[in-house]
Structure 1
């Protein structure tokens, strides 16, 4: 009876403006609270914590419309909230890191935010080969927890992202050249599916759902916990931070292409990544390429690879040696204090996956980037130019997961990333135009060869068609069939939907 009362009041809330401090909202919260765990929290607009719970890594541009936040503390809390929402057709969205930048998230209206952050546990298995991770766990939490036991797992690229979010769409990583993507390390998962039931999925239990979770997981449920593979940390890292002037762009990306050739002698412990960025101390006029050569091993082991970049004549070289895995995120600029982890700032991107760097396209994109970032509104922006390595990724059968086959074929992950302050409509319009122009410039070489465009689903901005994100082969049809089976009303359809 209490759950019904709460649902009725929440339904009313979802269909009319909020009146701060009203008696009926207090009653709704009280009624629902009786069916949640003691540590769960219900927050309404006007409450002291409301504004903090709306902050995202890409807000105000991405701002799903919530009328209530339920901070769940147990798996049962997730079930209860989903069951309530389903009974009265109230939309909902699960949130942990809040760094998804796709515009499709804005389609949620008058809904419930299911905040997962209290489900933030990491437990190493007895054999040390797996860890069980709560669905609200962040990258920095799992990294530090496992590091204390001499272990790591393949997780996201930034400390401020969740463990589950990147994994469900793929999960690029500095470790992917050794162990594959984050999703390749998934052993099992517990999911609240659209019916409100808890389902355990693995290669032996609900195998089709497990397959779908690995690459299209946002579409099929709320992951309350994951079991992931863990590995012994073999050594510390050596990281070369190298800055190249504009006149070295062609030579640099020609060299990077050589590392992706089938005949290349590239260690699985080597990760390459770079940025177009403005660093006035390096060049007060033009953007530069800030490139990272990261190697899991000693400087002596890394030097033969770094030497090839040094030979190009960079502006500067900084070498960090004996970098442990926790420190690695700071050295590479992916720690909690880095710009990618700043919240409540406008951010827009447009993912591009490529089989090789087309030098003419790269040069065109670099010129565009220079023009865009000459505008003070966008001068802190970057363009990601990532070649983390594919040896571990390609060790997995392309049919073993729902991940688009192009994601295992194309070694390059790129994206313009524009930041700007405020919510000016013209600035937002300009940002979209700039990201499209950069995306199209990088795709020029691909388009000339008539190869199909592919965008990593976690970098998609909401404009892409479904085959571009989920694959141009038959797997999209299989995903749609599974979607009908597991989520016939498309309750999980706000993150780059497949139907």
Structure 2
């Protein structure tokens, strides 16, 4: 209906409009009218409140994946940490649920349990401040990954961030957070020094190594509070130059390609610290009549990828070999996840993923899921022709250098993050069910082929049907510790819309 933009000059007029009966939200779960005048008066001059029908509201509630999305009746955009506090206290006083957003790339279906209430967008908490000693950076809760990378790069620094340029810095980090530099430094969350967190009652706490919940914030942090800022470790840039070689194979090479990857890195060793090895499957009729395998070999500190890495793949007979050279800032563009690429656009598509961690490739399972993927993407009437299968092979030395029990992130011993992304235009429950069935069928084949005794999934990619044991580790001590901390820090379960612990 309109945007309420709070400024000192307009406060009286704006709050008078907010109090009108036609924006009282009488449908909020039968709780009666909700008057936002009181909240407006308690917010800072630069904060915003957006009501349904306004451009601001529509923009902020839009999500990357349009499947089981949260529903808000108002969006608050705090400009200060205290604005977050006041919003949480107001929500509690009105018995309203609330959900914090920043990059809106979370696609887990548990978000759909938010069916009314307040969305708290952290987009204005976007400051980045490098400490004078150059050892740490303080990052606002709404900062995007690319902003962190670019700001640090200009100062001769870098840290581990998510790989996709348009995701937030903190969203992936709270679930562990994979990144190009993890072979050197560990996960994104391993860089945390301290966090400022607004608790469910509106109080503020500083969380650091002396806090019991610090362990949980590094892997299950979505469950414990709203992070308004974080202090993270940063490092001098080691290598500015990077090289890529994209090697594309036809589908008949599935077994050979992934057996070679096993032999080179995964069966008796690990991916070298200076190397990241991703691969995608996708259907491109200009390349082949079936989905192709695009292998990405990304090496740091060189202008061309070492032939010791590339030549064994050349020997398999690819259909395309394409080298490139550049800097760290080119990695997202090279792998199709820069700001201008499709994964960074709000298209209205549903984008469910079905992740699983693996230690190595089972080539028999790879063939089975390739055949399933081919059937799903190349049929003339398929809704999944734009699907993407992702195989993320990061260097893991920095991740494994930290003990398994050191953080809530549970899967340091795994080497591969695998996930089919079944992007499609929503068209009712039957199609959603079809995607769900296909995605889980693919994941089940990979799970059975892995020989693992538990399903290990990346919470930031999760579909939503997985269990807390799959998200946070099957060990009973992990589950007990998380539940105990949840009881102490969020006893009413206010932060339970994103992969809830229980």
Equivalent in 354, 370, 375 of residue 350 of structure 1? 354
Q: Find the aligned partners of 1:421 and 1:347 in 2 and give their Cα distance.
A: 9
Q: Are 2:438 and 1:424 aligned?
A: no
Equivalent in 299, 303, 306 of residue 295 of structure 1? 299
Q: Which residue of 1 aligns with 2:489?
A: 486
1:486 Cα offset (Å) = 0.3
1:264 Cα offset (Å) = 3.5
Q: Find the aligned partners of 1:33 and 1:68 in 2 and give their Cα distance.
A: 12
Q: Which residue of 2 aligns with 1:445?
A: 449
Counterpart contact for 1:138–1:161, Cα < 8 Å? yes
Counterpart contact for 1:11–1:90, Cα < 8 Å? no
Counterpart contact for 1:353–1:414, Cα < 8 Å? yes
Q: Are 2:170 and 1:156 aligned?
A: no
TM-score (norm 2): 0.91
Q: Which residue of 2 aligns with 1:66?
A: 72
Q: Which residue of 1 aligns with 2:153?
A: 147
Q: Which residue of 1 aligns with 2:63?
A: 56
Kindly provide the CA deviation profile for residues 5-35 of structure 1, in whole angstroms up to 9, marking residues without a partner as x. Answer: 98x99784623699xxxxx87xx34432110
1:126 Cα offset (Å) = 1.1
Counterpart contact for 1:402–1:475, Cα < 8 Å? yes
SS of corresponding position for 1:70: strand
Kindly provide the CA deviation profile for residues 207-249 of structure 1, in whole angstroms up to 9, marking residues without a partner as x. Answer: x111110010000000000111112222211011111111111
Q: Which residue of 2 aligns with 1:87?
A: 93
Q: Which residue of 2 aligns with 1:33?
A: 40
Q: Find the aligned partners of 2:231 and 2:117 in 1 and give their Cα distance.
A: 30
Q: Which residue of 2 aligns with 1:21?
A: none
Q: Are 2:320 and 1:316 aligned?
A: yes
SS of corresponding position for 1:378: coil
Q: Which residue of 1 aligns with 2:204?
A: 198
1:440 Cα offset (Å) = 1.1
Counterpart contact for 1:131–1:229, Cα < 8 Å? yes
Q: Find the aligned partners of 2:273 and 2:234 in 1 and give their Cα distance.
A: 17
Cα 1:289–1:493 change in 2 (3 A) is same
Once the two structures are superposed, the pairs formed by residues 60-459 of structure 1 within 5 Å of their partners are 61-204=67-210, 206=211, 208-235=212-239, 236-261=241-266, 263-264=268-269, 266-283=271-288, 285-299=289-303, 302-321=306-325, 323-343=326-346, 344-375=348-379, 376-404=382-410, 407-446=411-450, 449=451, 451-459=453-461
SS of corresponding position for 1:299: coil
Q: Find the aligned partners of 2:367 and 2:345 in 1 and give their Cα distance.
A: 29
TM-score (norm 1): 0.92
What runs of 5+ residues in structure 2 fail to find an aligned partner?
A: 1-11
Q: Find the aligned partners of 1:296 and 1:478 in 2 and give their Cα distance.
A: 39
Counterpart contact for 1:11–1:88, Cα < 8 Å? no
Kindly provide the CA deviation profile for residues 56-88 of structure 1, in whole angstroms up to 9, marking residues without a partner as x. Answer: 0102x1321111100111100100011111223
1:451 Cα offset (Å) = 2.2
Equivalent in 15, 19, 28 of residue 29 of structure 2? 15
Kindly provide the CA deviation profile for residues 460-491 of structure 1, in whole angstroms up to 9, marking residues without a partner as x. Answer: 11111111111111111001000000000000
Query: Over aligned residues, Cα RMSD in angstroms?
Result: 2.2
Q: Find the aligned partners of 2:264 and 2:170 in 1 and give their Cα distance.
A: 30
Counterpart contact for 1:350–1:436, Cα < 8 Å? yes
Q: Find the aligned partners of 1:267 and 1:408 in 2 and give their Cα distance.
A: 16
Counterpart contact for 2:102–2:123, Cα < 8 Å? yes
Cα 1:75–1:442 change in 2 (3 A) is same
Counterpart contact for 1:278–1:379, Cα < 8 Å? yes
Counterpart contact for 2:251–2:291, Cα < 8 Å? yes
Counterpart contact for 2:304–2:323, Cα < 8 Å? no
What runs of 5+ residues in structure 1 fail to find an aligned partner?
A: 19-23
Counterpart contact for 1:178–1:391, Cα < 8 Å? yes
Q: Which residue of 2 aligns with 1:495?
A: 498
1:49 Cα offset (Å) = 2.2
Counterpart contact for 2:243–2:304, Cα < 8 Å? no
Q: Are 2:480 and 1:477 aligned?
A: yes
